[in-house]
Amino acid sequence: MYSTFSNIKESFKLAWKHKMLWILVLVMMGGFNFNSYSNFSNLADKTSDTRTPQIKDVSPDKFQPVGDNYNLKLNALEEFKQDVKIPTSPESAFEKGTNEILGVAQNRPAFNFTALLGSLVMVAPVVLLVIFFWAAISFLISVWAKGALFSGLIKASNSQNYDFKDLGSEGKKNWKRYLKLSIYFFYKRLLSVLPIFGIGLIVVIVNGIAPQSTGVNVIFGILMLTPFLWALIYNISLYFVEQFALRSIIADNVPTKATFKLGWKYYKTRPGKSIKLALALILVLPIFMLIFFLPMGLLVGITAFLVQQKVSFVLIGFMGLLAAITGIITILVSSPFLNSVAYFSWTRLFLFIRESFDERPMQNPVEFAYKPEAENGQI
Amino acid sequence: MDKYNTAYKTAGFFRRYFATMLDFSINMSISFVPFLFTTFSVVEAYIKSPSSFNVISLILPIVFLFIMPIGIFFYSWYFTHKFGGTIGKILFGLRIVDEGGSYIDKSTAFWRMTAGRAVSSSFFGLGYFWAFRKKEDLTWHDRFLGTKVLTVGNPIWGIVALVLLKILFVVLSVYFITGILPQFLNTPPVRAMPVLGYTQSVF
Domains of chain B, residue spans: 9-199
**pTM summary value:** 0.74
> Which CA distances in Å does A81 have to A30, A91, A194, B22, B199?
56, 14, 62, 57, 17
Size of chain A in residues: 379
Mark yes or no for CB contact B51/A167 under 8 Å.
no
Do A234 and A295 lie in a common domain? no
Residue A247, in any domain of the structure = yes
Whether A65 has its CB under 8 Å from any CB of chain B: the answer is yes
Q: Evaluate if residue A41 carries a pLDDT over 90.
A: no
**Contact at 8 Å (CB) between A226 and A219?**
no
Residues of B with Cβ-Cβ distance to A84 under 8 angstroms: 191, 193
d(CA A228, CA A216): 18
A196 shares a domain with A259: yes
For residue A308, the distance in angstroms to the closest alpha carbon of chain B comes to: 25
Asked if residue A184 lies in contact with residue A260, where contact means CB atoms within 8 angstroms, the answer is yes
DSSP A62: G
pLDDT band at A275 (very low <50, low <70, confident <90, very high): very high
Distance separating alpha carbons of residues B189 and B183, to the nearest angstrom: 13
Read off the amino acid at residue A338: L
A311: pLDDT confidence band, cut at 50, 70 and 90? confident
Contacts (Cβ under 8 Å, ≥6 apart) of A137: B114
pLDDT digit string, tens, across residues A159-175? 999 988 999 999 999 99
Does A277 share its domain with A182?
Answer: no
Segments forming the whole domain that contains residue A321: 1-14+271-358
For residue B33, the model assigns a pLDDT of 84
Rounded Cα distance, A333 and A22, in Å: 9
User: Domain end: A249, A269, A289, which one?
Assistant: A269
Q: What secondary structure does DSSP assign to A132-178, as a single string? A: HHHHHHHHHHHHHHHHHHHHHHHHHHTT----HHHHHHHHHHHHHHH
> In the predicted model, is pLDDT for residue A85 greater than 50?
no
Same domain for A280 and A236, yes or no, is no
A23 → closest Cβ in B140, B145, B198: B140
**How far is the C-alpha of B191 from the C-alpha of A123, rounded, in Å?**
38
Do A141 and A172 fall within a single domain? yes
- Identify all chain B residues contacting A148, using CB atoms and an 8 Å cutoff: 144
Q: Do B47 and A104 touch (CB under 8 A)?
A: yes
Instruction: Based on the fold, state whether residues A325 and A339 are members of the same structural domain.
Output: yes
Cβ atoms < 10 Å from Cβ of B117:
18
- Specify whether A242 is located in the same domain as A306: no
Residue A154 lies in a domain: yes
> A15: distance to nearest CA of chain B, Å?
17
For residue B100, what pLDDT is reported? 87
| Whole-number pLDDT of residue B202 | 54
A 115-154 near B (Cβ less than 8 A): 115-116, 118-119, 122-123, 126-127, 130, 133, 137, 140-141, 144-145, 148
Q: Please indicate, yes or no, whether residues A155 and A196 belong to a single structural domain of this protein.
A: yes
Interface contact flag, B187 A103, Cβ < 8 Å: yes
- On whether both A246 and A311 belong to a single domain, the answer is no
User: Do residues A141 and A27 make contact, with C-beta atoms less than 8 angstroms apart?
Assistant: yes
Contact B194 A169 (CB under 8 A): no
| Predicted pLDDT of residue A72 | 45
Is there a single domain that holds both residue A185 and residue A232?
yes
Domain count, chain A: 2
Mean pLDDT over the full length of chain A: 77
- Are A254 and A297 found together in one domain? no
ipTM (interface pTM): 0.82
Residue A284: the pLDDT is 93
Is pLDDT of A189 > 60? Answer: yes
Q: How far is B163 from chain A (nearest CA, A)?
A: 32
Whether residues A136 and A265 fall in one domain: yes
The answer on pLDDT for A46 being more than 50 is no
Low-confidence ranges of chain B (pLDDT < 50): 1-2, 189-190
Question: Is residue A78 situated within a structural domain?
Answer: no
Q: How far apart are CA A99 and CA A187, in angstroms?
A: 58
A297 part of a folded domain:
yes
- DSSP annotation of B160 reads H
Q: Taking CA atoms, what residue in B is nearest to A73?
A: B194
